[in-house]
Amino acid sequence: MAYDLTDLQLFLQVVDQGSITQGADRSHLSLASASARIKAMEKALGAPLLIRHRRGVVPSPGGWLLVAHAREVVGQVARMRAELARYSDGLRSTLVILANTSATETLVSSVLVDFMADNPDIDLELEERPSHEIVAAVTDGRVELGIIADTVDSARLERAVLRPDPLVVITRPGHTLAGRAHVAFSECLGHPFVGFTQGNPLQEHLSGQTQPLGLRPRYRAHLPTTEAICSAVAAGVGIAVVPALAAARWQRVYDLRVVDLTNSWAQRNLLLCGQSWSGLSEPAAALAAHLRTKVQPK
């Protein structure tokens, strides 16, 4: 059997997403092309790699074996590319770092600008992803570094705390929750919400918290940025859940009230993660050191 790198990367994305459709999207392939590749892989093996059910797919016993080998192969290729990148354009390197919504909006950008100013031979690409996808990408070796919330299982990855990152509820003045010092998320579900657009990592995280409650917030609007959400909340459109640091930032611009959430999943920290600090490439090691030095826990 002959599986190419695209096949293996696609298969890992399908397994991580639990869906051929979402795996195809993450792999930048059409659904028809992705389905054809999966079927060709199964035909070459002579056995199913995925078990299909109404809610998506899970690996078969043979599929789990392929997952283990595919993660090793894809990780090795990613490490090879990272090491060779220094020679593709003189001594320039391009680092890809994945970060969750809170990190991209309140932490990473300014710190990365300082890093690039101090390291003109290193280019950076910052991509926003949900924390669980970041863990999978770092584990597979597709990227060397990620910034995640500590509410997800980071498995065997090495981790360093960057700073606390609690989630809070924001309301307009005069709202029935505005005078509260803290509130449980379940108590908020009777009020209309303003949320992030679908697919946003933080929005996915919040959606995951409502499912066990058997309730679903009523969203009056899904907006693309924290600033837009804060503006809508200040205008009385609804309430919202955002990172505390983002709320403090926009509270200086909009008239907002901030209420702490009592739920354990809201009391989180931002973590820098990697497979092994000692195994990082020189550019990644330099960035990790910069983040751990410049981002001071508050």
CA 253 to chain centroid, in Å, comes to: 27
* DSSP letter string, 63-79: HHHHHHHHHHHHHHHHH
Does 74 have pLDDT greater than 60?
yes
**Cα–Cα distance, 246 to 254 (Å, whole number):** 12
Which pLDDT belongs to residue 296?
60
Does 125 have pLDDT greater than 90?
no
Q: What is the mean pLDDT of the chain?
A: 87
Average pLDDT over residues 202-216: 75
Which pLDDT belongs to residue 21?
92
Per-residue pLDDT band at 92 (split at 50, 70, 90): low
Tens digit of pLDDT for each residue in 138-192? 988 889 999 998 888 887 899 999 989 899 999 999 999 999 999 999 899 899 9
Average pLDDT over residues 106-133: 84
Does 90 have pLDDT greater than 60?
no
Which pLDDT belongs to residue 83?
64
Tens digit of pLDDT for each residue in 263-284? 988 998 999 999 989 888 888 9
Average pLDDT over residues 53-65: 88
Which pLDDT belongs to residue 298?
53
Q: How far is CA 141 from CA 40, 93, 96, 276, 281, in A?
A: 25, 17, 11, 11, 12
Tens digit of pLDDT for each residue in 236-271? 999 999 999 889 888 888 999 999 999 988 998 999
Does 297 have pLDDT greater than 80?
no
Q: Please report which helix (H) or strand (E) contains residue 82, including its range.
A: helix 61-84
Q: Which residues pair with 158 in a beta bridge?
A: 274
Which pLDDT belongs to residue 241?
95
Q: Please report which helix (H) or strand (E) contains residue 94, including its range.
A: strand 93-99
Per-residue pLDDT band at 220 (split at 50, 70, 90): very high
- Residue 115's contacts (CB-CB under 8 Å, 6 or more residues apart) are 122, 124, 286, 287, 290, 291
Structure tokens at 47: 């056995």
Which pLDDT belongs to residue 68?
84
For 226, phi and psi rounded to 5 degrees? Answer: -65, -40
Per-residue pLDDT band at 88 (split at 50, 70, 90): low
